[in-house]
Chains A and B, each alone.
Chain A
Amino acid sequence: MNVSSRETASLARRRLLGGLGGLVLGAALPRVASSAPRSSISVGFTPAFVHDQHALLGDWRRHMERTLGLHVEIKQRDSYRETMDLLRLKQLDFAWVCDYPFLMLKDLVRLLAVPVYKGQPLYRSYIIVPAGNRGLHVESIKDLKNSVFAYADPLSNTGYLYPRYAIQQMGEDPRDFFRKTFFTWSHKKVVEAVALGIAQGGAVDSYVWESLEQIDPALTRRTRIVERSPEYGFPPFVAHRDTPPGLFEQVRGFLLGMHLDPVGVDLLKRLNLDGFVKGDVRLYDGVARMMHAFGEA
C-alpha cells in the first residue's frame, strides 16, 4: 500500500468520523475506551451467507460463549452498509464482513481470521442468468448489455465490484451498460431474482451459490453460471482496532481451533466451511486492484 492511498483512506476515515461524530460520542466511545477486563463482546454478521439462518447463529453464539467464557452478542443487519456503520460507531468488537468493505475499513479494523472454503481461503464471483430459453443466448456478461441486472449489495465484491470491473475491462461504462440495475441486498436473493426472471442476469458469491445448490437445488437449477471471476480472498472476520490484544488473540484462537472440536465442526459443516486460517491482507490485493480501477483505493 503506497503513501498516497493511505493518505486517501485516512482522509476518508476522518471525513466519516467527523460526519458521524455526534453519534459516536453518545453511546459507543466510553465502552470501547475502557481498559477493564471485558465480560461481553459483540459480533456483527452481514447478510453475506447466513442471513436466513437464525438457528445457526444462535448455536454459534452459545458455542462461542461456552468456549470463551464471555457473553456474546450477535448483531445482524440487512446490508453491508449497516454492519460497517456499526463498526464505525464502535458498536462491534468483531465482524464478518465482505472483502470489499474490509478494504474500505482497513484503517478501522484488523484482519482476524479468514474462512477456508473448499480447502482454500478463496472464493469468486459468478455471473448467472436464468436457466432455459430466457438465458439461452447469453454466453458471457457481454451478452447482457441492455438487460436488467441484479447486484447483491453496493458494498459487495462478488455481487457488485467484480461485475462492474469486468464491464470496465471490456471498455464499457458500467453505469449505462445495463438498461436497469437493482440491489437485492443479499446474494441469495440475487439467485432468486434471476431464477424468477425479474432480472436477466445477476452477480453472486460462488460460496453462496454453491451452498444454495446443496440446500435448495431447485432454486439454483433455475439459474445458469455464464462467467466465473478470478479467485479473491474470502470475506474475513475482522476485529475493531480498539479491541484489546488479549481479547483479539482469544477470539482468533477460538476461530482457528473450531475445526478441532465436535461442536465447532458441526457449525462449520452447517456453514459449508472447512475452518479458519490467520490469513494475510495480501489475499485481498485483487480486490484492491479493482477498487483502484474505480479510483476507490
Chain B
Amino acid sequence: MRPFDLSFRYKLPIWGGLLIVLSVAAVSSAMLLKAYEDLQRDVRISAEALGGALSKTLFSHLLHDDVWRAYEQINAVYRAGHVEDPILPEAIFVVGPVGEIVVSTAPETLPMLADLDSLGPGYAELARALDRQSGAGSELHDFATAQQRFIVFPIREEYAQLGTLVLAYSRDVYLPRFRAQALHGALIGLLVLAVLLPINAYWGGRMAVPLVELARRMERVVRSHGQDETELPRTRYPYRDELGQLFLAYDAMLAEMRQKALLERELLQTERLGAIGRLASGIAHEVNNPLGGMLMALDTLRQRGEAPPSVMKTLDMLERGLKQIQEIVAALLVQTRGQSRPLTADDLEDVRTLIHSQVLNKSQRLDWRVELPAGILPPAAACRQILINLLLNAVQATAEQGHISVQVAARSGGLAIVVANQAPPIPQERLEHLFEPFVSGREGGTGLGLWVTYQIARQLGGRIVANCADGEVRFEVWLPLENAT
C-alpha cells in the first residue's frame, strides 16, 4: 500500500503532526537564529566598549614602552571576576608597528616580540589586514584560516599610532551560551509538541471517523444499489460544515436510489401485467368467436327438438361447459367501457349491505369511512366491482372476529379506496405476482379477483398497490377524478 492510500484515520493525524512538528521546528530555528545574532551583537558591543577603553589607556603605556603596565591593563579584564563570561575575548594582545606581539594575555601561544607571520596562517592574514588598516575605528576580521575572530582597535592619539589592540574571540565562544539557549528552546518546543500532538491526534480521529464510516457505506451502496442500507445516524456528525453536508447528501442519495428502485420494480410489474393482459384478452377474443358460434349452434339444435332425450342431455352438458368457458373468458376480458354513470354514496352503501351478512358470519368488525370528494367521480360499476372484490378477499383472509377497514377519500387529485384487514403478511415472492391471473391465495379461488381489480384500475388510468405492515394487509387503489377513459 502506498503512503497516500492510508486511511484518513491515520493520514489526518500524521499530516497534522508533521505540520505541527515542522512549525515548532521552524519557530524554534528562527528564535535560535535570533538568539545567535543577538549573542553576536552582544559580543560586538561588549568588544567595542572594552577595546575602546583599553586602547585609550594603552596609548600612554606604549608611549613609555611600559609593557608590564600594558600587560596588567589588558590582563585586568580577566581579573575582574567574570572569567566565565562567554563574551570575554579568549586573548587580548597588542601588535606593534612592524607586526610583532608587544604584549599578550596568552604569552605561551603569543610570546612577546613574536612575529605575527610566524604564528600561523590566521595570524599571518591578520598581519596583512593590519598593514592595510588605515581608519581610526575598530574593524572585525574573520578569516577562514584563523581559529578566532579578531576585533582590532588602533592605539592612537591624533595622528600617532603606536600599535594595534587585538581582541581575539574564539569561534566557539558562543557555544556554551548558545547550547544552553538551544536546550531551553528545545524543551519549550517539546512541551508545545506534548500539548499539541495529542490534541491533533484526537481532532484528526474525530474528523476521520465519520469520513471513514461514510466511505464504507458508500462502498456498500455502490455494491448493493442502496438496498439494505440505513440512513446515517444524525448523532454521528451533527454539524453543518462540508462533512455534515456530505452526510445529508448521502442520505438524500440513498432515498433517491430507493425511490428509483421502487419505481423500476413497479414499472417492471406493470409491463409484465400489461403483457399478460394483452395475451389474455387476445386469447379471450379468439376463443369468444368460436364459442359464440358453438352456443348458437347448440341453441338451434335444441329449438328444433328433433334430438332424442339422451342427445338432449349431452347437449345440456355441452352447453354448461361452454357457458363456464364463456364466464372465464368474460372475466379475463375485463371491459369498463360504456359504463358512464359516476359513483355515488348510494353505490358504496349497496356494497356495504351486500357484504354485511358475510362479515356477520365470521363475527368480524368492519370499520367504514367514506368521504366522497366533489367533482366527476369514476364510473360506479367499476368502483363497485373493485370494492366488492377487495372486500370479499379481505373477509376470506381475515380470521373470525378480525378487523377490516374501508376508507374512501380524496387523495392527490383522485379517489383513494383503501381496504385493510388483519392478516399475516403476504410473502414477498407472492406479492410480486399478486395481480397476475390464476394466482390464488386460497383453496377454491379462481385467482381472477385481483387480476380483474387490477385491470379495472389500470383501464381507468389509476393504480393499485398492496403492502403488508403492522399485522395488516393493505390494498390501496387510486383512481383519477377527471380522466374516466
- Complex contacts, B111 vs chain A, CB 8 Å: 148, 197
Over the window 107-134 of chain B, the binary record of Cβ atoms lying under 8 Å from chain A Cβ atoms (1 yes, 0 no) is 1100111000000000000000000000
Q: Are B66 and A197 in contact (CB under 8 A)?
A: no
- Complex contacts, A185 vs chain B, CB 8 Å: 68-69
Q: Kindly state whether residue A180 has any CB partner on chain B within 8 Å.
A: yes
Q: Are A182 and B113 in contact (CB under 8 A)?
A: no
- Complex Cα distance, B113 from A199, in Å, reads 11
Q: Kindly state whether residue A33 has any CB partner on chain B within 8 Å.
A: no
Q: Kindly state whether residue B67 has any CB partner on chain A within 8 Å.
A: yes
Distance to closest chain A CB from B58 (angstroms): 14
Q: Kindly state whether residue A20 has any CB partner on chain B within 8 Å.
A: no
- Complex Cα distance, B65 from A197, in Å, reads 19
B67, B69, B111, B113 pick with most chain A CB within 10 angstroms: B67
Q: Are A148 and B68 in contact (CB under 8 A)?
A: no
- From A182, A193, A197, B108 is in contact (CB under 8 Å) with A197
Can you pick out 7 interface pairs between chain A and chain B where the beta carbons lie within 8 Å of each other?
Answer: A148-B112, A150-B68, A193-B71, A197-B108, A198-B67, A198-B71, A198-B112
Distance to closest chain B CB from A223 (angstroms): 14
Q: Are B112 and A183 in contact (CB under 8 A)?
A: no
Q: Which of B68-110 contact A (CB under 8 A)?
A: 68-69, 71, 103, 107-108
Contact flag A196-B113 (CB < 8 Å), given A182-B65, A184-B68, A185-B68: no
Q: Kindly state whether residue A106 has any CB partner on chain B within 8 Å.
A: no
Q: Are A182 and B66 in contact (CB under 8 A)?
A: yes
Q: Are B107 and A189 in contact (CB under 8 A)?
A: no
Instruction: Identify whether the interface residues of A are mostly helix, strand, loop, or mixed.
Output: mixed
- Complex contacts, A189 vs chain B, CB 8 Å: 68
- Complex Cα distance, B69 from A193, in Å, reads 11
- Of all chain B residues, the one with the shortest Cβ separation from A198 is B107
Chain A: how many interface residues by the 8 Å CB criterion?
Answer: 14
Contact flag A183-B107 (CB < 8 Å), given A148-B112, A198-B71, A198-B112: no
Q: Which of A150-193 contact B (CB under 8 A)?
A: 150, 179-180, 182-185, 189, 193
- Complex contacts, B67 vs chain A, CB 8 Å: 180, 182, 198
- Of all chain B residues, the one with the shortest Cβ separation from A180 is B113
Q: Are B68 and A183 in contact (CB under 8 A)?
A: yes
Chain B: how many interface residues by the 8 Å CB criterion?
Answer: 12
Q: Are B107 and A197 in contact (CB under 8 A)?
A: yes
- Complex contacts, B66 vs chain A, CB 8 Å: 182-183
- Complex Cα distance, B113 from A182, in Å, reads 12
- 8 closest Cβ pairs, A-B complex: A197-B107, A184-B68, A182-B67, A198-B107, A148-B112, A182-B68, A197-B108, A180-B113
Q: Are B113 and A198 in contact (CB under 8 A)?
A: no
Instruction: Point out residues on B near A: beta carbons under 8 Å.
Output: 65-69, 71, 103, 107-108, 111-113
Q: Which of A127-150 contact B (CB under 8 A)?
A: 148, 150
Q: Which of A54-98 contact B (CB under 8 A)?
A: none
Q: Are B108 and A148 in contact (CB under 8 A)?
A: no
- Complex Cα distance, B72 from A198, in Å, reads 11
Contact flag A179-B113 (CB < 8 Å), given A189-B68, A197-B108, A198-B71: yes
Q: Are A148 and B103 in contact (CB under 8 A)?
A: no
- Complex Cα distance, B71 from A81, in Å, reads 21
Q: Are B113 and A193 in contact (CB under 8 A)?
A: no
- Complex contacts, B68 vs chain A, CB 8 Å: 150, 182-185, 189, 193, 198
- Of all chain A residues, the one with the shortest Cβ separation from B70 is A182
A148, A185, A198 pick with most chain B CB within 10 angstroms: A198
Distance to closest chain A CB from B37 (angstroms): 36
- Complex contacts, A182 vs chain B, CB 8 Å: 65-68
Distance to closest chain A CB from B242 (angstroms): 78
Contacts A148-B111, A196-B107, A197-B107 given; 5 further ones with Cβ under 8 A? A148-B113, A180-B113, A193-B71, A197-B111, A199-B112
- Complex Cα distance, B67 from A199, in Å, reads 11
- Complex Cα distance, B103 from A180, in Å, reads 12
Distance to closest chain A CB from B32 (angstroms): 39
Distance to closest chain A CB from B120 (angstroms): 18
- Complex Cα distance, B107 from A28, in Å, reads 45
Distance to closest chain B CB from A192 (angstroms): 9
- Of all chain A residues, the one with the shortest Cβ separation from B100 is A180
Distance to closest chain A CB from B163 (angstroms): 14
- Complex contacts, A183 vs chain B, CB 8 Å: 66, 68
Q: Are A180 and B107 in contact (CB under 8 A)?
A: no
- Of all chain B residues, the one with the shortest Cβ separation from A193 is B68
- Complex Cα distance, B68 from A268, in Å, reads 31
- Complex Cα distance, B68 from A185, in Å, reads 8
- Of all chain B residues, the one with the shortest Cβ separation from A150 is B68
- Complex Cα distance, B156 from A86, in Å, reads 33
B66, B103, B112 pick with most chain A CB within 10 angstroms: B112
- Complex contacts, A184 vs chain B, CB 8 Å: 68
Over the window 191-205 of chain A, the binary record of Cβ atoms lying under 8 Å from chain B Cβ atoms (1 yes, 0 no) is 001001111000000
- Complex contacts, B103 vs chain A, CB 8 Å: 198
- Complex Cα distance, B67 from A94, in Å, reads 32
- Complex Cα distance, B111 from A288, in Å, reads 36
- Complex Cα distance, B113 from A148, in Å, reads 8
Distance to closest chain B CB from A150 (angstroms): 7
A148, A150, A179 pick with most chain B CB within 10 angstroms: A148
- Complex Cα distance, B111 from A148, in Å, reads 10
- Complex contacts, A180 vs chain B, CB 8 Å: 67, 112-113
